[in-house]
């Protein structure tokens, strides 16, 4: 092999190496561009908006949209999230006796309403009577604007659970549509075969948590 042939082969190899390096850089550049471009033809700002983010979290670099938060409730309307958080804090600090006393005081201050009597007569009493287990009896009921308070007597300690399960059974009833739920404020034994439960029922829109 003469020297001229060696130079020709060396030059060809250098040219080939240069082409390979250029192609490699080109492929890497295209991959980076593809990663930077959101799918579906979205702009980076649109893609940032589409990503889930925590409340108050900024969208990130490359966008000018400011962080947002939930608007405050209208004047005169309570912030339910704030009330629930405050109620949970109160519950953590209360004993059962504290909770019973709180609800007694809360119900005593509950204002009357024009439909309280009809709500008690047409919705509460028929539904409660129908759900009572054998031997149980409703001895007291009173409805006001946001709540109804009941006093129910049972023959044994387990009957109250049966009553609650029957009252809020799976199918929708006029009672379940008109109420938020039930809270057992007190449940204790007053005689060998007599257990009494004080029950609070929240009408639609009312809360079953201290607030």
Signed CA dihedral, 53, 54, 58, 64: sign only: positive
The residues that bridge with 181 in the sheet, in sequence order, are 202
Query: What is the domain partition of the chain in residue ranges?
Result: 80-203
Q: What is the pLDDT of residues 152-163, one digit of tens each?
A: 999 999 999 999
Q: What is the pLDDT of residues 27-74, one digit of tens each?
A: 444 344 434 344 444 433 333 333 333 333 333 333 333 434 445 555
Mean pLDDT of 188-209: 93
What is the Cα–Cα distance from 154 to 163, expressed in whole angstroms? 10
Q: Are 203 and 147 in contact (CB under 8 A)?
A: yes
**pTM, full prediction:** 0.59
pLDDT of residue 175: 95
Q: Are 175 and 124 in contact (CB under 8 A)?
A: yes
CA distances from 172 to 12, 91, 124, 133 (A): 84, 30, 15, 20
User: Of residues 167 and 9, which shows the higher confidence score?
Assistant: 167
Mean pLDDT of 75-82: 63
Mean pLDDT of the chain: 73
pLDDT of residue 82: 78
pLDDT of residue 44: 37
């Amino acid at each position: 092999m003469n020297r001229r042939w060696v130079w020709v082969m060396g030059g060809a190899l250098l040219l080939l190496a240069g082409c390979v390096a250029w192609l490699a850089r080109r492929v890497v550049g295209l991959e980076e561009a593809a990663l930077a471009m959101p799918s579906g033809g979205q702009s980076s700002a649109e893609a940032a908006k589409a990503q889930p983010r925590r409340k108050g979290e900024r969208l990130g670099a490359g966008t000018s949209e400011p962080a947002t938060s939930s608007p405050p409730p209208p004047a005169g309307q309570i912030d339910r999230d704030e009330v629930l958080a405050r109620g949970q804090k109160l519950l953590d600090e209360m004993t059962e006796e504290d909770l019973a006393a709180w609800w007694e005081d809360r119900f005593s201050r509950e204002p009357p309403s024009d439909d309280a009597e009809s709500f008690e007569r047409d919705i509460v009493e028929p539904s409660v009577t129908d759900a009572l287990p054998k031997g149980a009896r409703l001895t007291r009921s009173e409805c006001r604007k946001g709540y109804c308070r009941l006093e129910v007597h049972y023959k044994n300690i387990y009957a109250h659970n049966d009553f609650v399960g029957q009252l809020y059974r799976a199918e929708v009833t006029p009672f379940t549509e008109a109420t938020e739920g039930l809270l057992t404020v007190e449940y204790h034994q007053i005689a060998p075969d007599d257990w009494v439960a004080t029950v609070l029922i929240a009408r639609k829109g009312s809360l079953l948590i201290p607030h």
